[in-house]
Amino acid sequence: MSLKDRAGVSMIKSELVQRIAEHSPHLYQRDVENIVNAILDEIVAALARGDRVELRGFGAFSVKNRPARAGRNPRTGEHVPVDQKCVPFFKTGKEMRERLNRESSAESTGS
């Protein structure tokens, strides 16, 4: 299935676990699920500590701090204070960007 065909389709964690288990028949699905959960938990824990997590070729996860600001209630137009918050940020790696662009350019040329 091409990127264009999958527009609007997302993969949930259980589908990821199932795909990995299919590609690794020597592992039980519950073991794959434990591995995926351990990886995701470790990424979340690192971000909670304020660390940056870099997976070469894939991308980097980091936390960006959004300062407090004055917002606006869209219904009433009233100004409301919005507290400072930390938001997760993901920047794709060079290899992933090149691979995605190569696949999408091949589809647009009909190759």
Sheet containing strand 53-55, edge to edge, reads 53-55, 59-66, 85-92
> Quick count: other Cβ atoms within 10 Å of Cβ 92?
14
Q: Per DSSP, which regions of the chain are E strands?
A: 53-55, 59-66, 69-72, 79-82, 85-92
Asked whether the predicted pLDDT for residue 111 surpasses 60, the reply is: no
The DSSP 8-state label assigned to residue 88 in this structure reads E
Tokens of 49: 């500590």
pTM, two decimal places: 0.74
Alpha carbon distance, N-terminus to C-terminus of the chain: 14
- Enter the tokens of residue 107: 């589809």
Q: What is the pLDDT of residue 110?
A: 61
At 29-68, the pLDDT tens digits run: 999 999 999 999 999 999 999 999 999 999 999 999 999 9
Cβ neighbourhood burial of 88 (10 Å; 0-12, 13-18, 19+)? exposed
Q: Is 92 helix (H, G, I), strand (E, B) or coil?
A: strand
- Quick one: tokens of 11? 């993969």
